Amino acid sequence: MSYSVKELKDELVKTLSAEYGYDASEATILQMYGTVLTVVQQKLLQKRGEYTEKMKNSDQKRIYYMSMEFLVGRSLKNNLYNLGMEAEMKEAVKELGFDLETIYEMEPDAGLGNGGLGRLASCYMDAATTMGYPFTGFSIRYEFGIFRQKIVDGWQMELPDNWLEMGGFWLVPRRDESKEVHFDGEVKEEWGENGLKTIHKNYYTVRAVPYDLLISGKDSDVVNSLRLWSAESPSSFDMGSFARGEHVKSMESGNRAEAISKVLYPADDNIEGKSLRLKQQYFFVSASLQNIVQVHLRTNPSLDNLPEKAVIHINDTHPALCVPELMRILLDDYGYSWEKAWDITCRTLAYTNHTIMSEALEKWDMTLFRHHLPRITSIVEEINRRFCNYVYNNFPEKRGAIGSMAAIGDNQVRMANLCLIACFSVNGVSKLHTDILKNDCFRDFNDIFPGKLTNVTNGITARRWLNQGNPLLADMITGLIGDGYVHDLSKLSELKKFMEDDAVLSRLGEIKRQNKERLGRYIAEHNGLRVDPNSIFDVQVKRLHEYKRQLLNALEILHLYLAIKNGATIQPRTFIFGAKASAGYYMAKEIIRFICAIGDVVNRDASLNGQLKVVFLENYRVSLAETIYPAAEISEQISQAGKEASGTGNMKMMLNGAVTLGTMDGANVEIHDVVGPENIIIFGMNAAEVNELGRNGYNPWNVYNSNGYIKEIIEFVRRGGLDGKNFDTIINYLLQNDQYMTLADFESYRQAQERVAALYQDKRRWNQMSLRNIAESGIFSADRSVQEYIDNIWYKNC
Ligand code: 26Q
C-alpha cells in the first residue's frame, strides 16, 4: 500500500472537518495533531482488519509475549515509517500549513516500562511483526507510566506521567472482550457429578478491559496488537450501598479494582513483596490466558493441541503466575487430569531470565500469596510437592539440592524456580549471562534438565534506533550499500569496504558532528548550558543502579577536574548522563545528587577553559534516547563484570557509531568479539576476577591507601569541594559498603580513559573505529534475536 500526498491531504482535510468542523486555516496545532493521528490510526485499523481476516483461515502457531512492561515510546513516526508514508505525510501536513516535526514532539512517550527489559519487548514486537509472525503482546494499561523526572537542586523529584491524555489516541478499546479475574476468598472441595471438585468461593471480581495498541510491520502485511488490560470494578458504583446512604462505601470496590492498573512500579532490583504488585501480575496473567484459551478454542476442538498452536513467553518472572494459572484453567475450567494439564502447561510456556542478582529474584510471602490467590497457592504447592518427589526419586545425587531448587521454601514462593521447573525453555540474554545461569545460579536445574537452558543474545530494532533516530547516518549508509540492511542488518558488514575511503570517513565524522550539534541545542534549551561540539561526547544513559556504577564515571570526572586544576591540559570532554532512580532507592538518588553537584562546580569554572562539561539530562526516556544515541562517541558500559545480564544501550550506541568503553560484562563481551580489541576499550576485572576478589575479601581501604588519585578525589569531596555539600553517604559507600567494588576498577578505568583521549587525537583512525563498530553491529539486530527464538524455542519441533 502506498499513499500519495494528495490522498493524505484530502483525508486530513476530511477528518479535520468531520472531527472539529474546521478547515486547515482555522485549525489549531492540537487539532492537527488529533487529525494526523486519526488518519494514521485508520490506516492501521484497515490493515489490521485485512490481516485478521487472513489469519482466520491460518493455523500458524501464535506467539504470546507476556510482559509487565512494554517501553513503546512514541508511535507516530514509527507508524509512518513502518507504513512507508512518512515523506508523503510530511508534505501533506506542510501543504496544510503545519510542521510534522512539531507534531511529533507533541506526542508523549508511552513509558510503560523502566528500562531495557521493557524496551526489549517493544523491539521484539517490531521485529516479529516485520518478519511476518502472529505475535501478540500482553501487558497492563497503566494509567501512569514511569514517572516524569525533575531535578531540583540535585534532588530527583517524581511527577505523575499522565500519558493517556495525549497518547491514549492510539488505544482501541474492546470492551466486548473483557474478562473477569478473581481475588481473595477461599478454596473448598466439593463432590459433584464428576467426583471431587475444587471450588474457589467468596472471591471478589475485577473486570479486565482490553485496549489494543496496533503495531504495523515494516514492509509486511502484518499488524499485531499489544493488548493492554485496564482494571475496572464489575460494578464500579454499588447502587445498593449508595441508596442506604453509605456514599463512600458505594465507591470502594471501584477504587480497589482500579488501583490495579493505576501505576507502573519503578524497578530498583531490590524487590519488596507488595500486595498491589502481586495483584497486577495475577490480573494481567489471568485475563491474558483466558483470552489465549478462548482464541484457541475458536478454531480447535480442545486444548489438547495448545502447545502446537501457541507459545506463551514469560518475560522475566513478573508473569510467572502463568504456570499455576494455566494449570488452574485446565484443571478447574476444562476438567483435565493433573498429568495431562501439566504436560500441556510445560509444553506451552517458555521463560527468559534477565538478572542473576539474588535480590532481584522475585519471591512472595506465602501468607500474602495465599490470601490473594488461594486456589493458585494450592496448585503451586502441588507442583512443588511433585517436583521434590521427582528429584528425590530420580536424582539421588541431587537430594541435597532439593531445598534450594524447590518452588517453595522459607515460607516464600520462588518465582524463578517455578519457571525453571515448568517451562520447556529457559534462556539468558547474552553468552556470558547464560554461562553464569548454567554454571552458577541454576546449575542443579541444568543437570536435571539438560538442554533446557539456552542463550538468545538480546537485539534491538535498527528501524527505530538508526533509520528513525539518525536519518543522516541512515541516508549515508543507504547511499553506500543500498537499503537491504533494513531487513537484514548483517548487510551493514558491507560498510567494511569503505574503511580506507577518506570521503566516507570524513562524511561519517561530519554526520556525528551534526548530531552532536542537535543534542547540543537540546542541552542549551533544557540545561541552559553550552557544550563544545569539538569535545568528546561521552555518554552514560541507563537506569540508575549501584551495579551499573555511574559512580565510577563520576570519580573519573572529578579526577580530570583536579588534574586540570593542577595544570594539566586534556582532550576536551562532555560527560552526558541520563538516568531515573527508583523513587525509594536512596543511594541511587544520592548518586544523582553527586553527579549534579560535580556538574555545578565544573560547568561554571572558567579556569577550565571549557575542557570539561558535565550534563545530567532530566527525564531520560525513549524519545530522548533517540536524540542522544546518534550524538554519542563514547558509550559507557562500566557495570561490574557478571552483573549486567546483557545491556542493549551498548548495542544502540554501537549502531550509531560510538566506541564502547566497558568491562567484560553482558553483551560487551560479544561486541568485543565482533569488533576486535582495537575497536573497543576494555578495562577492569572480568567476572572470574570479580568472584576471586570477592572470595579473598575486597578491602577498599587498600585501594584508597595505594592510589594517590583516589585519595585526592575522596579527600576533595570530604573537604567540601563540591560547594560545601555533604557527600558522606557516597564516601562511606565507596569505602565501606560497596558490593560492586568501584574503587578496585578505578585505576584501570582511568587508564582506559587516557587511551580514549589519545585515540581521539587521530580523527581518521577514530572514524575508522566508528565505521567498524557500525559495520559489525548487524548481529545485534532484534530480527536476528527473534529468528533465534523462532528456531530454537517458539517454533522448535514444528
Ligand atoms: C520487580 C518487582 C517489583 C517491582 C519492580 C520489579 C522490576 C521491574 C523491572 C525489576 C526489574 C525490572 C527491569 C529490569 C531490566 O530492565 N533488566 C534489564 O533487561 C535487559 C534486557 O534483557 C538487559 O539488557 C539488562 O542487562 C537488564 O538489566
Q: Which atom of ligand 1 is nearest to the CA of 115?
A: 16
Percent of the chain with pLDDT over 70: 98
| pLDDT (0 to 100) of residue 247 | 63
Q: What is the pLDDT of residues 674-686, one digit of tens each?
A: 999 999 999 999 9
Tens-place pLDDT, residues 94-131? 999 999 999 999 999 999 999 999 999 999 999 999 99
Does 393 have pLDDT greater than 80? yes
Q: How far is the CA of 9 from the centre of ligand 1 (A)?
A: 43
Q: Is the CB of 265 under 6 A from ligand 1?
A: yes
Distance (angstroms) between ligand 1 centre and the Cα of 392 equals 34
Calculate how far, in angstroms, residue 299's C-alpha sits from the geometric centre of ligand 1.
36
Tell me whether residue 354 is one of the annotated catalytic residues: yes
User: How many other CB atoms are found less than 10 A from the CB of residue 203?
Assistant: 18
* Contact in structure between 211 and 143 (CB atoms under 8 Å): no
| Residue type (1 letter), 619 | N
Q: Is 132 left (phi over 0), alpha (psi -120 to 50) or beta?
A: left
CA 723 to centroid of ligand 1, rounded, Å: 35
Distance between CA atoms of 663 and 681, rounded to whole angstroms?
Answer: 8
pLDDT at residue 238 in the model? 60
What is the DSSP secondary-structure string of 602-652?
HHT-GGGTT-EEEEEESS--HHHHHHHGGG-SEEEE-PPTTT-S--SHHHH
- Residue 567, phi-psi category: left (phi > 0), alpha (psi -120 to 50), beta (remainder): left
pLDDT at residue 249, as a whole number: 64
Which residue's CA is the nearest one to ligand 1's atom 12? Answer: 267
Residue nearest to atom 15 of ligand 1 (CA): 117
116 lines ligand 1 (CB under 6 A): yes
CA dist., res. 436 & res. 457, Å (int): 14
- pLDDT value of residue 170: 98
For residue 420, the model assigns a pLDDT of: 98
How far, in Å, from the CA of 268 to the mean position of ligand 1?
8
Atom number in ligand 1 closest to CA 120: 21
Name the helix (H) or strand (E) containing 158.
strand 155-159
* 517-574 per-position pLDDT tens digit: 999 999 999 999 999 999 999 999 999 999 999 999 999 999 999 999 999 999 999 9
Indicate which atom in ligand 1 lies nearest the CA of residue 274.
3
Backbone dihedral angles phi then psi of residue 567, each to the nearest 5 degrees: 110, -5
Of 253, 258, 259, the C-alpha closest to 241 is 253
| Atom of ligand 1 at shortest range from CA of 277 | 3
Q: Is the pLDDT of residue 235 over 80?
A: no
Please report the pLDDT score of residue 243 as a whole number: 67
Query: Nearest residue CA, atom 4 of ligand 1?
Result: 267
Residue among 269, 271, 352, 359 whose CB has most ligand 1 atoms within 8 A, to mutate: 269
What's the 434 CA to ligand 1 centre distance in angstroms?
16
Q: What is the pLDDT of residues 281-331, one digit of tens each?
A: 999 999 999 999 999 999 999 999 999 999 999 999 999 999 999 999 999
Sequence-distant (6+) residues with CB within 8 A of 47 are 1, 83, 216, 221, 223
Best mutation site among 65, 117, 356, 580 for ligand 1, i.e. most ligand atoms within 8 A of its Cβ? Answer: 117
C-alpha Rg value of the chain to the nearest Å: 27
Active-site choice (542, 589, 593, 621)? 542
Distance CA 512, CA 770 (A): 10
Residue 267 has pLDDT above 90, yes or no: no
Does any ligand 1 atom lie closer than 6 A to the CB of residue 354?
yes
Whether 428 is in the pocket of ligand 1, judged by its Cβ within 6 Å, is: no
Side chain identity at residue 155, one-letter code: W
Ligand 1 center–CA 645 separation, angstroms: 9
Instruction: Establish whether 207 is a catalytic residue.
Output: no
Most ligand 1 atoms within 8 A of CB, residue of 112, 142, 274, 354 to mutate:
354
Q: Which pLDDT does position 443 carry in this prediction? A: 98
Catalytic-residue membership of 548: yes
Pick the atom of ligand 1 nearest to 647's CA: 24
CB 77 within 8 A of CB 468: yes
Q: Which three cell numbers mark 246?
A: 453509605
Which pLDDT belongs to residue 271? Answer: 65
Residue 398, all three cell numbers: 541431587
Mean pLDDT of 477-498: 98
Between residues 196 and 690, the one the model is more confident about:
690
Mean pLDDT of 157-175: 97
Q: Is the CB of 281 under 6 A from ligand 1?
A: no
Options 548, 589, 613, 750, the catalytic residue: 548
Dihedral over alpha carbons 677, 680, 684, 686 (to 10 degrees): -60
Q: Which residues pair with 311 in a beta bridge?
A: 63
Cell triple for 107: 506526542
Region 705-713: mean pLDDT is: 98
Contact 283, 380 (CB under 8 A): no
Q: Please identify, by atom number, the ligand 1 atom nearest to the C-alpha of residue 644.
A: 26
How far is ligand 1, taken at its centre, from the CA of residue 626, in Å?
20
**CB distance 462 to ligand 1 below 6 Å:** no
- Show the CA angle centred on residue 357, arms to residues 356 and 361, nearest 5°: 85
- The candidate with the shortest Cα–Cα distance to 214, out of 173, 177, 174, 170, is 170
**pTM score of the predicted model:** 0.97
Task: Yes or no: say if 14 and 29 are a contact pair by the CB < 8 Å rule.
Answer: no
CA of 440 to the centre of ligand 1 (A): 20
Per-residue confidence band for 270, with pLDDT thresholds at 50, 70 and 90: low
What pLDDT shows up at residue 360?
A: 83
Please tell me the distance from the alpha carbon of residue 435 to that of residue 453, in angstroms, as a whole number.
Answer: 9
Of 352, 355, 363, the one to substitute when testing ligand 1's pocket (max ligand atoms within 8 A of C-beta) is 355
d(CA 668, CA 687): 12
Calculate the average pLDDT of the chain: 96
Q: Give the pLDDT confidence of 643-655 residue by residue, as tens digits.
A: 999 999 999 999 9
Specify the residue with its C-alpha closest to ligand 1, atom 5. 267
| More confidently predicted of 252 and 444 | 444
Residue in 370, 543, 621, 772 annotated catalytic: 543
Res 236 pLDDT > 60: no
- What is the position in ligand 1's atom list of the atom closest to the CA of 267? 5
**Amino acid letter at 213?**
L
119 lines ligand 1 (CB under 6 A): no
Backbone angles phi, psi at 481, to 5 degrees: -125, 5
Q: What is the pLDDT of residues 595-642, one digit of tens each?
A: 999 999 999 999 999 999 999 999 999 999 999 999 999 999 999 999
Residue 171 · residue 178 · CB < 8 Å: no
Q: Which of 179, 354, 545, 750 is catalytic?
A: 354
424 Cα: distance to centroid of ligand 1 (angstroms)? 22
Nearest Cα residue to atom 3 of ligand 1:
271
Over residues 723-779, the pLDDT tens digits come to 999 999 999 999 999 999 999 999 999 999 999 999 999 999 999 999 999 999 999
Q: Quick one: pLDDT at residue 237?
A: 56
In the predicted model, what is the mean pLDDT of residues 52-81?
Answer: 96
**643 in active site:** no
pLDDT number for residue 32: 97
Please tell me if the CB atom of residue 145 comes closer than 6 angstroms to any atom of ligand 1.
no
Q: Is 352 tagged catalytic? A: no
- 182 touches 302 (CB < 8 A): no
- Compute, in angstroms, the gap from residue 604 CA to the centroid of ligand 1: 36
C-alpha separations of 328 from 193, 199, 332, 335, 423 in Å? 19, 11, 6, 10, 16
Ligand 1 centroid vs 739 CA: distance in angstroms?
19
Residue 250 has a pLDDT of 63
| Three-state helix/strand/coil letters over 475-541 | HHHHHHHCCHHHCCHHHHHHHHHHCCCHHHHHHHHHHHHHHHHHHHHHHHHHHCCCCCCCCEEEEEE
In the prediction, which pLDDT does 586 show?
96
* Active-site residue identified among 454, 648, 660, 742: 648
Classify strands 155-159 and 70-73 as parallel, antiparallel or unpaired: unpaired
Q: Is 452 noted as a catalytic residue in this protein? A: no
**Residue among 351, 520, 359 at smallest CA distance from 428:** 351
Strand-by-strand arrangement of the 634-637 sheet: 612-617, 573-578, 536-541, 634-637, 659-662, 681-682
> For ligand 1, is residue 458 a contact (CB within 6 Å)?
yes
| Percent of the chain that is helix, strand, coil (3-state, to 5) | 55, 15, 30
Residue 143 corresponds to which cell in the numbers above?
494509567
Query: 266: CA distance to ligand 1 center in Å?
Result: 10
Per-residue pLDDT, averaged over 246-274, amounts to: 79
267 lines ligand 1 (CB under 6 A): yes
Distance 588 CA to ligand 1 centre (A): 16
The predicted model gives 60-76 an average pLDDT of 98
Give the range among 22-26, 413-417, 619-623 with minimum mean pLDDT.
Answer: 22-26
Q: Which atom of ligand 1 is nearest to the CA of 360?
A: 10
Q: Who contacts 88 (Cβ-Cβ below 8 Å, separation ≥6)?
A: 2, 3, 4, 5, 8
d(CA 66, CA 349): 10
Q: 2 or 51: whose pLDDT is higher?
A: 51
Residue bearing the CA closest to ligand 1, atom 7 = 267
**Which of 417, 432, 422, 425 minimizes the C-alpha distance to 450?**
425
Closest ligand 1 atom to residue 113 Cα is 9
Instruction: Please tell me the distance from the alpha carbon of residue 616 to that of residue 125, in angstroms, as a whole number.
Output: 31
Q: For residues 379 and 328, is the Cβ–Cβ distance under 8 A?
A: yes
Q: Whose CA is nearest to atom 8 of ligand 1?
A: 267
Q: Give the span between the Cα atoms of 249 and 246, in whole angstroms.
A: 5
